[in-house]
Each structure stands twice: as structure tokens, then as C-alpha cells.
Structure 1
Amino acid sequence: MDLLALALVIGLATGIVVGALGAGGGILAVPVLVYLLGQEPHAAAASSLVIVALTAIVSLRHHARAGNIDWRAGGVFGAVSVVGAVAGSRLSLLVPSPLLMLLFGAMLAAVAVVMARSGIRARRRETAALRPATSEPPAASRRADAVAARRADPVAARPAEPSAAAEGIAVPMPPRASPSWPQLIAAATATGLLTGFFGVGGGFIVVPMLVLLGLAMRRASGTSLLIMIIASAVSLLARIGTPVVIDWRITLLFAGAAMLGGLLGGPLSAKARPSTLTLCFAALLGAVAIGTLIEVLAVG
């Protein structure tokens, strides 16, 4: 298959993943650009930043309309990650390409394990919430109990007003608290460093960080898009003046297809259970980690 056609197909798939999960563009783009499109790892890292930033901008619209973005937490997270992103971008150039990809694969494997455990725990909680708490007693027994109660105390036995829950009306839950500022600052600094170092949007780190800090999976996915835009732009600007050269034809073609995929992927996230999104994210990370490590070790 022609390289341009391959870039279109894979870019579309990448965009769908970013739109649905709020992450994953960089972890797909970097290995694809290196192992399928033949780019040098440092150049692929810079190209992926362009792809991820443009795709996240398009995908952000759906999550914003759905209310899945914590603007305050995302803005602070992105702003604090700037320092780490610049430092990581410069440090990356000092690391040989094979070692860079080896570290990349190892990090993805570790994050995949953390997310898989989180997804399994979330699935158990969801299943427990759907299971009936107690079985209803037989109708005859309930009627006999009601008659006895009325005879004993007619006032106390008077039927209570039906509650919203009893009528089947959805009772709004209190909003989940956002992560505390010290937690956000520490996580954002580490995220910016890793984002700049590996040249990816950072969604694969941001989403687990936000989930572990208390955001629901769907809200973390939406908020991560805002952070990815900030981190990607800063990391790309930090590479100005370095020997890295971007193949703009392949990069923009890949990005265009990914942006289209982002529009398709956003609505998909609304149809899936949060635990399903988490487990899919973990499976994606694990598959890319295994593929990357196999390629690096085979070449080495």
C-alpha cells in the first residue's frame, strides 16, 4: 500500500480512538510513523505532536457540549505541565533512538497494567450497583404485615408519600469532587516531563492520572483533550531550533484523517460504560506496548 494511503487509513483509526477515549493518538502515531512509515523516532515524535494537537481540537467540541470537561482542572493541569514539557523535549534529544523506543514501550506496559486494574474494579462496582440489594417478600406476606401494622397503630401505619426513588425518578447524584490543587500540580509536572520526552500528546498519562485523582473515566477523557492540546503545542514549540525535521506531507495527511476520525469517535464514548472505556484503553496500551517492545528487541 502507498505510504500516503496508509497514512490516511491509520490516521482515521487513530482519530476514532482519540475521540472515543480522549487519549491514544500519540501512542498509536509514534509506532506507526516509525515502524510502518519509516520515520526516525525523534522526527516521528515531533510529527505525532502535530497530529495529536489537531485531532484533540476537533474531538474537544463533542466532549465540551456533553459537559465532560473539567475546565478548571484541565487548564491548571495544562499550564503547570508546560515546564515539564519543555524540559522533557530537550532531554529527549540526548537519548539514542533505540533506547527512546524501549523506554516508550516499557512505560506503556506499566500504564496498561494500572488502567486494567482500575477498569476491573470499576466493572465490579457497576455490577454491584445493578444487582438488587434484597429480594422482595411474597405479596401475601406483605399484605398480612400491613393489616397487622394498621391494627397496632393506624397512624404510624399510614402509607408514606412516595419518594422520587420509589417512583422511578432519577435522583441526581452530588458532583464528584475535582482533584486537589497539590495533587494536580505534582501530576501535571510529571505528565509534562513525560509528554515532552516521548513526544506524544500525553493522553495515555493524563487519563490515568485524572482517574486516580478522582475524576470519572468519561470526564477524565474529555478533560484530557484540553490538556493534550496545551502539552502538544508547548512540546512542539520547544523543538524549534533542533535538528528534528518534520515530513509535513505525511504529517498533515495523517492529521486530516485523524481529525475526521475524531468527529466519529466522540459520540461513541457516550454509548459505552465507563469501565468499558477504561478496559479498552488498557487493552490498547498493552497491545501497542507489546508490539513496540518486540520491534525494538528484534532490531537490537
Structure 2
Amino acid sequence: MQHVVRGNVYQMEIAGFIGAFLMGLSLGLVGSGGSILTVPILVYLFSIDALAATTYSLFIVGITSMVGATVRAGAGNIHWPATLIFGLPSLVSVYLTRSFILPVIPSVIVHQGNFILTKSLFLLLLFAVLMLLASFSMIRERHEHPEDENTPANGSYDPFPLFIKGISVGGITGILGAGGGFLIIPALVLMANLPMNKAVGTSLIIITANSFMGFWRDYHLHELIDWRFLVYFSTIAITGILTGSSLAHKISGEKLKPIFGYFILLMGAFILFKELFLR
């Protein structure tokens, strides 16, 4: 019996590391969506508590996005003014959310009969809803911002909407440990008139900064972190993002987005069903 259990654990871990590669691959190809898989992978395949998984996710997403951003920066695909306008309020929002909002959520939020809504369950359900929103965003046809390399990268735009969007994305990253690329990229394309290649590169810079800010804010948890596991997982994810970045000029990320969106949709629906009806 022990051999069966141990074999199942190994299979789950292998599936988890494959998921790490796919997460990085998605970030490299389409610049978004991949990081939203990190917390479910950590929770369901590595049995890490949901709250701790958000801390782990911040490190993994941060270092993986940093590698992808470095590759994009080398190709000149970063728009630095938009990075500052969007990124600075986002950073502040991550810090404040991680410092003052997340800690005040009680360990048991609702206890009604046999139903107990714990903090970890709340985060998982919130994460599942975010996955559904991300999937709809990725599946929906975006005629309003086609991938046009000739879109003016330095056109005039109103910085205030970008500033406000940065605050909201920072809050999401702070609570859930997800990068929010599916929100950042459309904002950069529609609000800052960036072509898709620059929007992806700029998004990766913002995700990197937000993730490391959130992870740094969790400094009191660092002594409890399994650093060896983080290095293994992050290395595989980095391999994925380097692979995706090398294929990005051969494969249209916009064509892959709907396919990946349907996968995230199924994952989000699975989490909701499992946590609400199979507990």
C-alpha cells in the first residue's frame, strides 16, 4: 500500500513539474496566462497550502518573468514610460495588499453548519474565479486590437487610466500571487497604444517587479520556504519561458491564446467544483 501511495505522489510531482514547464512556455509565447496556473499546480500537485502557495508563486512567477523580460528587452520590446506609469502604482498596491489586506482575512471566514469557509479555501475560490475571467479574456476574439507591428509605440495616451489599472492589477497580484498578464497586456495595447510585442515585453517587466515586491513583503515566511523545491520548479519554468520566447517569432501567440484560454477555463471550473462539491 505504501508503494502505491508513494508511486502516486511521484506521478503527481512529475505532472507538477510538467505543469511548471507549460507555465513558462505560455509566458514565453503569449506573455500571459501561464502564471495563473502556478498556484493550482502547487496546491493540487504538490499539496502546498493555498496561502503558502501564493508566496511560492510570487517567487516563481517573478524569476520566470524576469528571464522572459530580459530576452524581450534585448530585442527592444520594452516601453519604459508605460512600465513606470503602470508599474509604480502597481508596486505600491502589491505592498499595501500584502501588508494590510491579506493579514486581516480571518482563518475561518464563515462557519455555517457543515460548511467552513477557511482563508485557504477563500483564496482558492477567488483564484478559480480569476481563472474563469482570464479564460474569457483569452478566448474572446480581440478585433479591437489586432497584432499590428506598425501600431505607434510612442503615440499620445492618457496616463491616468494606466495608473488606475496598475493599482487594480497590483491588488490582484498581492492577494493571489498571480502576475495578471491577461489584464496588463490588453491595458497596454488599448490604453497606451502599444504593439503586441512591446505590450508583452512591458507586461513581463511589470509582472517581475510586482511578484518580487510581494515575495519580499513575505520575508517573515522565508525561513519556512523549501528553497530546493523553489529552485527546481523555477528552473523548469525558466526552461519553458526560454523555449517559448525562442518560438515566439515562429508561432503566433494570439492564435494560441484561445486554446490556452479553454484549458484555463476547464481548470477554473474544476477547482470550483472540487472545492464546493467534493470536499
CA shift for structure 1 position 268 = 2.0
Q: Which runs of 5+ in 2 are unaligned?
A: 1-8, 107-118
Paired AA for residue 10 in structure 1: G
In structure 2, relative to structure 1, the CA distance for the partners of 1:46 and 1:299 (3 Å cut) is farther
**Residues 106-185 of structure 1: matches in 2 within 5 Å?**
106-117=129-140, 119-121=141-143, 173=150, 175-176=152-153, 177=155, 179-185=157-163
In structure 1, the residue matched to 2:227 is 248
| Per-residue deviation, residues 107-166 of structure 1 (Å, max 9, x unmatched) | 22123223433x35269x68xx9xxxxxxxxxxxxxxxxxxxxxxxxxxxxxxxxxxxxx
CA shift for structure 1 position 28 = 1.1
In structure 2, relative to structure 1, the CA distance for the partners of 1:9 and 1:112 (3 Å cut) is closer
CA shift for structure 1 position 226 = 0.2
**1:19, 1:266 within 8 Å by CA — same for their partners in 2?**
yes
- Residues 216-225 or 181-190, more deviating: 216-225
In structure 2, relative to structure 1, the CA distance for the partners of 1:210 and 1:279 (3 Å cut) is farther
Q: Which runs of 5+ in 1 are unaligned?
A: 130-171
CA shift for structure 1 position 188 = 0.4
In structure 2, relative to structure 1, the CA distance for the partners of 1:39 and 1:60 (3 Å cut) is same
CA shift for structure 1 position 32 = 0.4
Paired AA for residue 51 in structure 1: I
Asked if 1:200 corresponds to 2:178, the answer is: yes
Paired AA for residue 265 in structure 1: G
In structure 2, the residue matched to 1:9 is 18
In structure 2, the residue matched to 1:40 is 49
Q: Which of 79, 98, 112 pairs up with 1:89?
A: 98
| Per-residue deviation, residues 77-136 of structure 1 (Å, max 9, x unmatched) | 22211121012223234261111111111122123223433x35269x68xx9xxxxxxx
CA shift for structure 1 position 181 = 1.2
Identity among equivalent pairs (%): 31
**2:152, 2:194 within 8 Å by CA — same for their partners in 1?**
no
Q: Which structure has the higher relative contact order (CA within 8 Å, separation 6+)?
A: 1
In structure 2, the residue matched to 1:191 is 169
Provide the C-alpha distance between the structure 1 equivalents of 2:156 and 2:67, rounded to a whole number of angstroms. 25
How high is the TM-score relative to the length of structure 2? 0.80
In structure 2, relative to structure 1, the CA distance for the partners of 1:268 and 1:295 (3 Å cut) is farther
In structure 2, relative to structure 1, the CA distance for the partners of 1:34 and 1:222 (3 Å cut) is same
In structure 2, relative to structure 1, the CA distance for the partners of 1:20 and 1:273 (3 Å cut) is closer
Asked if 1:62 corresponds to 2:71, the answer is: yes
Q: Of the two, which has the highest radius of gyration?
A: 1
Paired AA for residue 182 in structure 1: F
Provide the C-alpha distance between the structure 2 equivalents of 1:66 and 1:53, rounded to a whole number of angstroms. 20
In structure 2, relative to structure 1, the CA distance for the partners of 1:114 and 1:200 (3 Å cut) is closer
**1:116, 1:282 within 8 Å by CA — same for their partners in 2?**
yes
